[in-house]
Amino acid sequence: MQLLDGKALSDTIKIELKKESQTLNEKGITPGLAVILVGDDAASQTYVKMKEKACDITGIYSIIHKMPSTISQEKILEIIHMINQNPNIDGVLVQLPLPKHIDTTKIIEAIDPKKDVDGFHPFNVGRLVSGLDGYVPCTPLGVMRLLKAYHIDPKGLNACVVGASNIVGKPMMNLLLNAFATVDICHIYTKNLKEHTQKADLVIVGVGKVNLITEDMIKEGAIVIDIGINKTDEGKIVGDVDFERVAPKCSYITPVPGGVGPMTIAMLLENTIHAAQNR
């Protein structure tokens, strides 16, 4: 069993991105990222601080638009329009989830697709489905980069994606299809999840449920990517996989924390640098 170390890989990527950022600086360009943070969700605030710190490391100018949870949808749309028009901002990130009175789809659709470094705009989603270049959601993109770094080629593998969200599961499925894997995608209404995961060479899970994937659900030698982030009653951060029992059966597995999480932020930085290069 070998750990897929996302922390080490993300650190290497950040070093490369800092060099690319310095090259842009020499041309008079400073990569810029604008983050919209609505409300006081603790997890969202933590993620935004991590992204802000990562931007500083790689030479990306970042600005955070903090707004109260009572803000109107119209006001958020006004701010997005302003950011879209700002030539010094290359990427726009709306931290999800948004308050219930805000239509998330309308907010995402308002972002200029050329600045959609989260890869959530329907324009970029469509390009991903069609196998064309565009911005790809950072978490599934990070998974693909992690696989590539360890010379794991999805081509011809039987892959099972557990979780069908627009942010992770669906784009993960499309990236794997584009890489010529045979993909099985499961969700909350899937009957007998074990039947699907047991036959998979590659299992990727991102649901948010502690110990969803157990030892008996994984075949010997499988590759397991755990995207889940959960906090136990004892305050420990764990994924969706029963790591202690599942890991000995795997050829490769991601730890939580230190696996996919750092790669998500690294891919956000990379998308922002690419947007700056495309100015």
Task: Encode pLDDT of 186-207 as tens digits.
Answer: 999 999 999 999 999 999 999 9
Residue 7 in domain: no
Q: In terms of Cα–Cα distance, which of 104, 143, 181 is closest to 6?
A: 143
What digits encode the pLDDT tens for the residues 122-172?
A: 999 999 999 999 999 999 999 999 999 999 999 999 999 999 999 999 999
- Average pLDDT over the chain reads 96
Q: Give the model confidence (pLDDT) of 69-89 as tens digits.
A: 999 999 999 999 999 999 999
Q: Are residues 89 and 177 in the same domain?
A: no
Does residue 115 share a domain with residue 44? Answer: yes
221 lies in some domain: yes
Q: Domain limits at 88? A: 28-122
| Tens of pLDDT, residues 226-252 | 999 998 888 899 999 999 999 999 999
Asked whether residue 253 falls in the same domain as residue 158, the answer is yes
What is the CATH number for 199? 3.40.50.720
Q: Is residue 114's pLDDT more than 90? A: yes
| Domain-ending residue, one of 122, 155, 188 | 122
Query: Which residues are part of the catalytic machinery?
Result: 51, 95, 118
Whether the predicted pLDDT of 208 surpasses 90? yes
| Per-residue pLDDT at 36 exceeds 90 | yes
Task: State the CATH number of the domain containing residue 118.
Answer: 3.40.50.10860
Please indicate, yes or no, if residue 37 is contained in any of the structural domains.
yes
Domain boundary, last residue among 62, 91, 122: 122
> Do 64 and 109 belong to one domain?
yes
Q: In terms of domains, do 105 and 194 share one?
A: no
Answer yes or no: do 226 and 146 share one domain: yes
Residues 163, 205, single domain; the answer is: yes
- Is there a single domain that holds both residue 44 and residue 158? no
In terms of domains, do 152 and 207 share one?
yes
- The predicted model scores a pTM of 0.95
Long-range contacts at 208-217 (CB < 8 A, ≥ 24 apart): 208/240, 209/240, 210/238, 210/240, 211/240, 211/241, 211/242, 212/162, 212/240, 212/241, 213/162, 213/240, 213/241, 213/242, 213/246, 214/242, 214/245, 214/246, 215/242, 215/245, 215/246, 215/249, 217/193
Task: State whether 251 and 166 are in the same domain.
Answer: yes
Total number of domains in the chain: 2
CA quadruple 89, 110, 57, 268: dihedral positive or negative?
negative
189 and 117 housed in the same domain: no
